[in-house]
C-alpha cells in the first residue's frame, strides 16, 4: 500500500469508529456522515422477511428504525482495514430492549467511505436473534 493509500485507509478506519460511536447517541452527527444515496446490503435479511438490498431513503429508514424504534446502540466495535483503502471490516454488538425484549446481536459489516461519507454498508447478523427479539415488528 502506498503512503497515500495508507493515510486514506487510516482515515476510513477512524471514520468507521466515529460513525459507530455516534449511532443511537448523536444521530444528527451520524446523518452528517452518511450519504443520502447510501447503498445497503443485508444478505441474510430475507430469511426474516426484510429487504436484502436498499438504496437512498429506504436504506436510511432502516437505520432510523433501529435507532429510534428499537433504541439499538452499538458497542464492542472493532474496525479492520481492507485491501481497498475506502473499505473497512467492522465487527460490533448491538443492544436494545424493544418492547422490553432484549436484543443482543453480533454483527460483521463492510463499510465503504468516499470523502469521509458512508456510501456503502453491508451487514451480516444472526437472524435467530432478530426473530426472537423483533418478530412482532417484522412484516407478515
Are 89 and 79 spatial neighbours (Cβ–Cβ below 8 Å)?
A: yes
Residue 74: HSE in the Cβ half-sphere, 13 Å Cα cutoff: 24
Residue 74 CA, distance from chain mean position: 9
pLDDT at 110: 98
pLDDT at 136: 62
| pLDDT-flagged residues of the chain (< 70) | 1-4, 136-140
Q: What is the pTM of this model?
A: 0.90
> Where are the chain's structural domains?
3-137
pLDDT at 140: 66
* Four-residue CA torsion sign, 1, 39, 65, 116: positive
Could you tell me what percentage of the chain is helix, strand and coil, using 3-state DSSP and rounding each to the nearest 5?
40, 35, 25
Q: Please state which CATH number belongs to domain 3-137.
A: 3.10.450.50
pLDDT at 68: 81
Amino acid at each position: 500500500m502506498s503512503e497515500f493509500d495508507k493515510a486514506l485507509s487510516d482515515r476510513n478506519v477512524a471514520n468507521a469508529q466515529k460513525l459507530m460511536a455516534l449511532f443511537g447517541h448523536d444521530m444528527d452527527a451520524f446523518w452528517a456522515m452518511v450519504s443520502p444515496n447510501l447503498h445497503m446490503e443485508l444478505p441474510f435479511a430475507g430469511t426474516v422477511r426484510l429487504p436484502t438490498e436498499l438504496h437512498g431513503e429506504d436504506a436510511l429508514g432502516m437505520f432510523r428504525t433501529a435507532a429510534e424504534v428499537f433504541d439499538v446502540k452499538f458497542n464492542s466495535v472493532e474496525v479492520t482495514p481492507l485491501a481497498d483503502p475506502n473499505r473497512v471490516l467492522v465487527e460490533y454488538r448491538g443492544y436494545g430492549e424493544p418492547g422490553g425484549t432484549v436484543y443482543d446481536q453480533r454483527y460483521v459489516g463492510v463499510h465503504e467511505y468516499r470523502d469521509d461519507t458512508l456510501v456503502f454498508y453491508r451487514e451480516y447478523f444472526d437472524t435467530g436473534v432478530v426473530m426472537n427479539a423483533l418478530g412482532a415488528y417484522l412484516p407478515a
